Structure 1
Amino acid sequence: MTETTRRTPDSREVIRRTEQPLQAANIHDALLNLRTVQALSGLGKTSIYERIKTGELKSVKLGSRCTRFRAGDVQAWLQAQGK
């Protein structure tokens, strides 16, 4: 996993993020984060959330600020886009 570091605007806190490898999408039951779904689909955050609202794409809510996507659902949705 790749780790990125950035400072908050007030520079008192350092935020570390671990990026999810795209190979995680090959595991059917893996829970993908939004950045991985963006990389796989080529869509932005707003477009992905619009597709969730219309029911095209399913998400899993793990907490008040944590949404993930099952890799199998994302793969099926991507395949349906080509038809």
Structure 2
Amino acid sequence: MEGVVITKESDARGSFCPGPLMELIRQVKAAQVGDVIAVISGDEGSRKDIPAWIEKAKQEFLGMETTEGATRFIVRKVK
């Protein structure tokens, strides 16, 4: 994601559902409005669960990238 500065990144590979999602929720709660958080997950369920939670929580989903057999989810805290 060019031009996006990640404030906090957590590597949740090796953790299975709902671990990566819970890590993201913890990071978003601790973040300041405007912070960009990234969570890396190797759990396939995260590809559906994390974007759905981001939408439900009314945060800004900036995208996901596949890296080394895992997915990196990037979200901006907006409220």
TM-score by length of 2: 0.31
The structure with the larger Rg is 1
Bigger fraction of residues in helix: 1
TM-score by length of 1: 0.30
